[in-house]
Structure 1
Amino acid sequence: MLFFLILCPTPWLQYKGTPFPTIIEVLILEVTFEIIREAGIRMPQPVGQALSIVGALIIGTAVVEAGIISAAVVIVVAFTAICSFMFPAYAIGIPIRILRFFYMLLSGIFGLYGLFLGFTVMVLHLCGLKSFGVPYLSGLSPFIPSEQQDTLLRFPKWMMNSRPHLLSKEDEVRQDTHRPAPNHHEGDSR
């Protein structure tokens, strides 16, 4: 909301009655939510869950009624917080939580250009990484259509006959990639 205000309808621009810019509101709520989340994780499970739910409700209601943060920002931060629980492992979510603050700061300072700048820096960093001597984005770059069987969607094992070229120079054939036979049940006359 700090940049490209012309894209917003006029009634949306009139809701502002809070003392802080939107980026400061979002950062305050995000930091508060992270504190509540970390406190909930370190407490015993039943107490931690109750603390997280009650703490978020009380703090969200209090900051809106006090006029410190707008209700729209509370809704957006709550939605992103709920979406952050989609990651199956806690350790996967930690770098994303840190990058979220990085992207918020860049977007708050430079607007949409900052968001694209942050994304570009992240992709360039990933292009330079290597894992066990293999480039981190080896499945995507260079783009080889025959090696895309295991990139975004995992094909069945029997369809992946050859290894990626970057991984093996000597033995390109995978082991035991035969198509499974259909299951026949006892007493089935078909």
Structure 2
Amino acid sequence: MDFLDEKCETLLVSTMDRHITKVEVASGTVIESSKITDPENEDTVALNRIAIIGHRGLAEGDTSLLVGVSSADKSLRVYDADKNLLLTREHGHTEGISDMLRRPPSVPTDLRGQAMAYGRRQSMNQTSDFGSVVMATEQTCRMLRAYLKKLMGSKEELALDELEVELEKVVKAVREKKGTTAKAVTQNDADEPEPAKAKESF
């Protein structure tokens, strides 16, 4: 468990039934309880150790990060603490992760005492309602993979016209973005001066 805010008014607790529960410290009232899931396979995950990072020293509007370790699948996971959305995960080792210490950088250890260091990407420090474009892209890809599995296994009659229109817009925007990036790279290569040729001596 860890405090969600600097004033220590809200406590974040990871429970054995695979939920993250927010508790008001003053009254002991449960504010919210939500199940932690993996959007790729919809499996629920029990977090053995959690910590909140990012709520100190960040600009107003930045998102706090919930970092947790799960001995079940030997992973370290990073969530958006406000929305409980999985941002990224890394599998530590062939052995389970036994604990995690919050310090820069965070250093979890496995059952053999082997330490593994994980650093925050610079993109995680950027202010945005959802996070950086890089993080949003990764999250969207995970959600689309999970949705595709559901869609292919569904036998229901679905109205997919609106989804098709939105996906076509996204594909068009992605292609335009890739084209713009490719042109910028080509232009930069063209602007670089050619190396001076050595003078031939006779």
TM-score by length of 2: 0.30
Bigger Rg, structure 1 or 2:
1
Higher helix proportion, which one? 1
Choose between structure 1 and 2 for higher RCO, CA contacts under 8 A separated by at least 6 residues.
Answer: 1
